[in-house]
Each structure stands twice: as structure tokens, then as C-alpha cells.
Amino acid sequence: MTGKHTDQRIEFLASRIRDVQDFPKPGIGFKDITPLLADPRAFTTCIDLLAEHCAGRRIDAILAIESRGSIFGAALAARLTASFIPARKPGKLPAATDRVTYVLEYGEDSLEIHKDALAPGTRVMVIDDVIATGGTAWAAMELVRRQRGEVVGASFVIELGFLDGRKRLAPIEPFALLKY
């Protein structure tokens, strides 16, 4: 995806991201995607660009990380005619689950998917709204691997490059529409 047309679409998306200072706590500069979601043209453009990135790959399933990643993941799965798999916080899925716990800057968190979410060999693209330190995306990829699926990529609307989360996902090379 190169060229003037794509650059204009990326600039358009960037214009729909709102900076909110001191959220969720003092000193944090939050990238708010709600203006992008509120603009049907911007949301469609975002899904178009994510789908273009997936073109030419065989993707059987989109695994999206709750909560905002699921907004993009469900739309992308429908566009690609792929399965949609929600990765949720513990206790949110109704059937038996697999769980991965991962380290955050201050503590731990966990993600779960249903134990029967993936058949062995399922080719999965992981989707989230933001990659920061990479911990949540790493956990989602680990869930795929534990169910003997194949992670074919990880895509994000926003990358906070200064937090260097892409290193944690190696050897997968993450893709992001917007980089800060």
C-alpha cells in the first residue's frame, strides 16, 4: 500500500484520532478512536486499509482483542469472509476457555478464548486498535499457538512506537495504519 491515494487515506484517518491528555491517569496521552468510529467514511476507510493489508494471504480467522479491537476485528472478518474469534478478559466467555496471563508494566492481566475456537492449522490474523508494549497482542498470539493455530500476522489501527511493542511480537512483523 503505497502512493498518494493511500497517503491521503492515512492522513484522513489520522485526522479522526483525538488526543486526550491525562487519561486514564495523569501523564498519559491517550489516542481516542471514538471520532474515527463516529465517522462512517473513516471507519470504512480503516477497514478497507486493513483488508488491503490482508490481500493475498489465506486468512481463516480474525482473532480480535477486547474491547476496541473487536470493533475492527468483527468488521474485518465479515469483509474477508473469515471466522471471528473474540479474545476476552477472564470470566467473559460462556464455555470452557484457554487462558494466557501476561506481565504489564504494573502487574499482570489475562486473555481467554474458547477451547474450541481454533482447529489445528487455522491461519489467524490478530487485530487490536492499539499496540503499545505488545503484551496483550503477545498473549493473543500465544493463545493461537496453544490451540495449534498459525499466526499469519498482527494488525493494528495505531502503533505507539516509543513503547517498542513490536519487539515482543517477533518473529511476526506487526502492521499499523497510524504510527506515533
* Chain segment 142-165, per-residue pLDDT in tens: 999 999 999 999 999 999 999 999
Q: Kindly report the CATH number assigned to the domain that includes residue 170.
A: 3.40.50.2020
Rounded to two decimals, the pTM is 0.93
Distances (CA, A) of 167 to 16, 26, 145, 148: 27, 27, 18, 22
Other CB atoms closer than 10 Å to residue 117's CB: what's the count?
Answer: 23
Q: CA 25 to CA 4: how far, in whole Å?
A: 38
pLDDT in tens, 15-42: 999 999 999 989 989 999 999 999 999 9
Reference 113, options 98, 128, 102, 125; nearest CA is 98
Q: If you average pLDDT over every residue of the chain, what do you get?
A: 95
Domain count, the chain: 1
pLDDT in tens, 73-100: 999 999 999 999 999 999 999 999 999 9
Other CB atoms closer than 10 Å to residue 66's CB: what's the count?
Answer: 17
Distances (CA, A) of 91 to 23, 36, 102, 138, 162: 26, 29, 16, 20, 32
Chain mean position to CA 119: 21
Q: Provide the pLDDT confidence category of residue 5 given band limits of 50, 70 and 90.
A: confident
Give me the mean pLDDT over the 114-139 stretch: 97
Q: Count of alpha carbons within 13 Å of 103, Cβ hemisphere only?
A: 2
- Residue 105: pLDDT over 80: no
- Residue 45: pLDDT over 70: yes
Grouping H, G, I as helix, E, B as strand and the rest as coil, residue 107 is strand
According to the model, what pLDDT value does residue 3 have?
A: 63
Q: Which domain holds residue 112?
A: 4-179
CA triple 166-124-11, angle to 5 deg: 50
Catalytic sites, residue numbers:
68, 105
